[in-house]
Amino acid sequence: MEIYSAEEAGVMIISVKGRLDAASAGGLEGEVRRQVDAGSRRLVLDLTDLTYVSSAGIRVFLLAARQLRGLGTLLLAAPSPMVRQVFDIAGVDAFVDVCETTAAAVDRLRS
C-alpha cells in the first residue's frame, strides 16, 4: 500500500493506493495520527486507488473518525464499486460520511 498526503484549501487529503489489510492498516493509522497531531482537523481519505479493504482497514476508518470527533471532520472519498460494496455490508456510512468524489469531499469541508 502507498500513502500520499497533500493539503488543499485547508483540507488534508490522504490518498491510499493498493490494498488496505491487516498488514498495511498500521501505516494508514499512523499517517492519520501524524496529521491530527500536527493540527489537521479536516481530513479526506481519498480512496480512488484503493483496490481492496479488509475489516482491519475499516477499523482504521472508524478509529480515525473517533479520533477526530469533537476536534474536526473525516470524510471518505471516491471508493471503487467493490470497496463501496464492502462499506455497505459493514455499515461504514453509519459512522463516517462517504462522498462520491474527492473534490466533493474537499468542497464540503471548505464551507
pLDDT in tens, 72-85: 999 999 999 999 99
From residue 74, alpha-carbon distances to 12, 23, 46 in Å are: 10, 23, 11
Structural contact between residues 77 and 98, judged by C-beta atoms closer than 8 angstroms: yes
User: What residues have CB less than 8 Å from 70, skipping those under 6 apart?
Assistant: none
pLDDT in tens, 49-102: 999 999 999 999 999 999 899 899 999 999 999 999 999 999 999 999 999 999
End-to-end CA distance of the chain: 31
